[in-house]
Structure 1
Amino acid sequence: MARSTARFLYRVSHPLGEHVIKSAKTVETPSARIAFDVSHHPARIHAVKALRGRVGFLSLTRLVVESYEREDYLLFSGFEDTGASLDQETMEKLFSCSGCVQGHEDVSATVQQRLNAEAARHAKATISRSLEQNSGHFNRARDKLEQWADDRVLSAEKELAATKEQIKSLRRLARQAVTLEEQHEIQQRLQKLEKQQCRQRQDIFKAEDEIMEKRDTLIDSLERRLAQHTESEALFTIRWPVQ
């Protein structure tokens, strides 16, 4: 396998990686034996170097998680002939080494069953992490909305309370007014403040309606995340020796 091709197999977020994967999906990928050469790799990869002289199997699965957003993952599953499982990072680094296809390799039912079980376990863990991340996003959005709602309503209520105090004060002055001119001036000011009070009450209702609308949007977002759809696709299985 060419080194440049292998390097992009698991970088699904990279535009070129997406193109390579899309193109590769149309190509038949029967199980094969690929020998990886770590001895001539320019950089020292300790995890892969530890596999030198060892043999095993691995498979690559594409997992798609669709909730509020679409998430694509490329998950490796593999193990040595000794039975020891390989971690995702080691298998990714294995594909940064040059490789040589040595022909077709039959995969026994027992091996395939083990690879399928590991792939299912990795997919379950990935989906769980995705749900946790979505939950974290939701909690932060909820906290932000609640803080904004509290600030919005509190500010409007403070303005309304201040206007009420001014009205109360003017009404006391009106009872003490001596002349008609004083009474007229106070009543004009009261009229303006009462209209202002009415607008401020309407502003509170509008703020509450806006808060309810934003909360409904947030709940819809949560429901979309909970209505999670997943699908997986096996891309290839190989027998690997490391030289």
Structure 2
Amino acid sequence: MHPKSTPGSDDVGGEERSQFLYRLSHPLGEHVVESAKSLPTPAAQIVFDLSHHPARIHAVEELRGKSGFLKLERLVVESYEREEYLLFSGFDDAGASLDQETMEKLFGCSGRVGGDTAIQAAEQQRLNAEAERHAKATVSRSLEQNSVHFNQAREKLEKWADDMVLAAEKALQDTKEQIKALRRQARQAVTLQEQHQIQEKIKKLEHTQRRQRQEIFKAEDDIVVKRDTLIESLERRLAQRTETETLFTIEWVVA
């Protein structure tokens, strides 16, 4: 996606500026994200201003005139796949907890640094406790989702295995029935020529029968291999490793 330039107003004065929108996978987008991640983020007070927001955000409007604390953590879950989550934890000065969506929308508003802040031990302890609870709940949901995927894969494998074996066994049974019918014909054959033709057919069908038995064994071997692969993927999911990183902790004020 090429950068798109759109006119806008500068925060100070009426000068126009250009805004460039990039996908996160765009080289410049990746550079901006990586640069931002490497910046130091000491505890600070952030004042969020709703007065210039283009649209009303009901959840954030309810915080106008209030303040509190929040922290943002990055949770990485390593199992069958790598999963990353950004988890907010926070509360206001009255002690009411904020939900993830409200805190996400809060950061959609303009803000400014109000200065450094000192987060007391009790406040930090509560933030840590809520962050730990959110992380555990997220990991639990991840396990549940992995369990759903595993069960779907297991059911798909079982259906495929049943279809494979049933198809092979049916083909073998059909061949057996044909051989039985030809043997009955052989007992009733009058001439040697007729007997010879029937025996040739039986010989070919017996060869087919041996091949079909081998195909059943091969199908069963394939099923075992696929089932082992599925079990290995389950073991990788069970051997889950998690990692958390605090990105920042702030005192927030909504003006």
Q: TM-score range by the shorter chain?
A: over 0.9
For the residues of structure 2 that align with 1:139 and 1:130, how far apart are their CA atoms? 14
More strand by share: 2
Question: AA paired with 1:35?
Answer: V
Instruction: Return the match for 2:235 from 218, 223, 226.
Output: 223
Measure how far apart 1:26 and its partner are.
Answer: 1.8
More helix by share: 1
Show the counterpart of 1:30. Answer: 42
For the residues of structure 1 that align with 2:43 and 2:127, how far apart are their CA atoms? 13
SS in 2 for 1:15: coil
1:111-122 alignment, distance < 5 Å: 111-122=123-134
Question: AA paired with 2:68?
Answer: G
Show the counterpart of 2:197. Answer: 185
Q: Is residue 2:11 matched to residue 1:15?
A: no
Measure how far apart 1:45 and its partner are.
Answer: 0.3
1:126-141 alignment, distance < 5 Å: 126-141=138-153
Measure how far apart 1:33 and its partner are.
Answer: 0.4
Distance 1:37 1:60, change over 3 A: same
Show the counterpart of 2:63. Answer: 51
Measure how far apart 1:25 and its partner are.
Answer: 2.9
Show the counterpart of 1:8. Answer: none
Show the counterpart of 2:219. Answer: 207
Q: Tell me the alpha carbon deviations over residues 147-184 of structure 1, each in whole angstroms, 9 at most, x when there is no partner.
A: 11111110111110000000001011111111110111
For the residues of structure 2 that align with 1:19 and 1:70, how far apart are their CA atoms? 21
For the residues of structure 1 that align with 2:132 and 2:31, how far apart are their CA atoms? 26
Question: AA paired with 1:140?
Answer: Q
1:53-72 alignment, distance < 5 Å: 53-72=65-84
Instruction: Return the match for 2:54 from 18, 23, 42.
Output: 42
Q: Is residue 2:175 matched to residue 1:175?
A: no
What percent of counterpart residues are identical?
72
Question: AA paired with 2:99?
Answer: D
Q: Tell me the alpha carbon deviations over residues 53-110 of structure 1, each in whole angstroms, 9 at most, x when there is no partner.
A: 0000000000000000000000000000000000000000000000011111111111
Instruction: Return the match for 1:88 from 74, 78, 100.
Output: 100
> Any stretches of 5+ residues in structure 1 without a counterpart?
3-12
* Structure 1 stretches of 4+ moved >4 Å: 16-21
Measure how far apart 1:15 and its partner are.
Answer: 3.4
- TM-score normalised over the length of structure 1: 0.92
Show the counterpart of 2:6. Answer: none
Measure how far apart 1:24 and its partner are.
Answer: 2.7
For the residues of structure 1 that align with 2:80 and 2:171, how far apart are their CA atoms? 39
Q: Is residue 2:120 matched to residue 1:105?
A: no
Q: Tell me the alpha carbon deviations over residues 100-137 of structure 1, each in whole angstroms, 9 at most, x when there is no partner.
A: 11111111111110100000000000000000000000
Q: Is residue 2:237 matched to residue 1:237?
A: no
For the residues of structure 2 that align with 1:21 and 1:15, how far apart are their CA atoms? 10
Q: Tell me the alpha carbon deviations over residues 190-224 of structure 1, each in whole angstroms, 9 at most, x when there is no partner.
A: 00000000011011001000011000000000000
Question: AA paired with 1:110?
Answer: A
Number of positions where the alignment pairs a residue of Structure 1 with one of Structure 2: 232
SS in 1 for 2:202: helix
SS in 1 for 2:48: strand
- TM-score normalised over the length of structure 2: 0.88
Measure how far apart 1:27 and its partner are.
Answer: 1.4
Higher relative contact order (CA 8 A, sep 6+): 1
